[in-house]
Structure 1
Amino acid sequence: MIDARTSASFPINAGRTQRHHDLAKVETLGENAHTLINIFVSQPITLPLELTFLERHPQGSQAFMPLHQERFIVVVAPPGEHINPSDVRAFVTDGRQG
């Protein structure tokens, strides 16, 4: 979990910015692997949430961090080709966690 409230931090840019240092390790696997960081803009959902699919990224890691301190739902499942619905877990962030 990435959480700026519990990280080592220090001021930079003449004190105008607080740097939260070394929050995540970015891993790449395979000969053609590379690090890729994106920003995604999502649309709000209504609850209850019905999942119709889950994505799988076996050759890399992902981290999601809200840019506007909005809470969001994180849904995870163990690796594998077939997912048992009882093994799926969901968490709600507090809007300042990734």
Structure 2
Amino acid sequence: MSRRVSIEPLTVEAFAPYGDVLDARGEADKIINAGQCGRYHDRATIDVSEQTGGRVGISIFHATLRALPYTLDLIERHPEGSQAFIPMSADPFLVIVADAPDATPKAFVTNGAQGINFHRGTWHGVLTPLAGNGLFAVVDRIGETPNLEEHVFDAPWIIS
């Protein structure tokens, strides 16, 4: 038996309980580089647990393209640090979050020019690019202690 979740557009307000939306809409906060560059300043807080050590790192992920409807059978979270995904192409990707493993997930789709930063400890689906090359810059905690918890659903969710 599967359960259904509808996708909604990714907005700052709807995503706020789970993390930050990284985008460059509207006027830039600052104009730099002799007037040639708009800086959209401080769009996310990188949160790394001080208790377990570690540091902030930047990695590149190359994820397999997915299609809709998407079967969600696993969610994960990172209790030791936030995790930001910044697409390296102007293509939409699916962002799935949940308040807890037994809660109904929420699904958002980016507009192709947005990235996201999951708050530390937020349950979320795996990286799910819907088009493009599947390349993402990822900013997250690098350290020796475990920073991944996974939950497999007894019955999958269908995201459409």
Aligning the two structures, in what range does the TM-score lie when normalised by the shorter sequence? 0.7 to 0.9
Which of 40, 53, 77 is the matching residue for 1:20? 40
Q: Indicate the residue corresponding to 1:60 in structure 2.
A: 81
2:109 maps to 1:92: yes
1:35 partner SS: strand
Trace 1:60-79 onto structure 2 (pairs within 5 A).
Answer: 60-79=81-100
d(CA) in 2 for partners of 1:43, 1:33: 28
Letter in 2 for 1:75: I
CA RMSD in angstroms, aligned pairs only: 2.0
Instruction: Give the Cα separation in 2 of the matches to 1:8 and 1:70.
Output: 24
CA, structure 1 residues 5+76, in 2 after alignment: closer, same or farther (shift >3 Å)? same
Q: TM-score, normalised by structure 1?
A: 0.78
Residue 54 of structure 2: SS of its match in structure 1?
coil
* Aligned residue-pair number: 93
Local SS of the residue matching 1:63: strand
Structure 1 residue runs of 5 or longer lacking an equivalent are: none
Choose which of 19, 23, 31 in structure 2 pairs with 1:3.
23
Q: Secondary structure at the match of 2:95?
A: strand
Instruction: Kindly provide the CA deviation profile for residues 43-96 of structure 1, in whole angstroms up to 9, marking residues without a partner as x.
Output: 2112110012112101111111222110110011124xxx12x52111000011
Contact conserved, 1:10 with 1:20, CA < 8 A, in 2? no
Alignment partner of 1:39 out of 36, 49, 60? 60
Give, as a single letter, the amino acid of the residue that structure 2 aligns with 1:95. Answer: G
Gaps of 5+ in 2: 1-20, 116-160
The letter for the 2-side match of 1:44 is: L
Q: TM-score under structure 2 normalisation? A: 0.51
**Greater RCO, CA 8 A, separation 6+:** 2
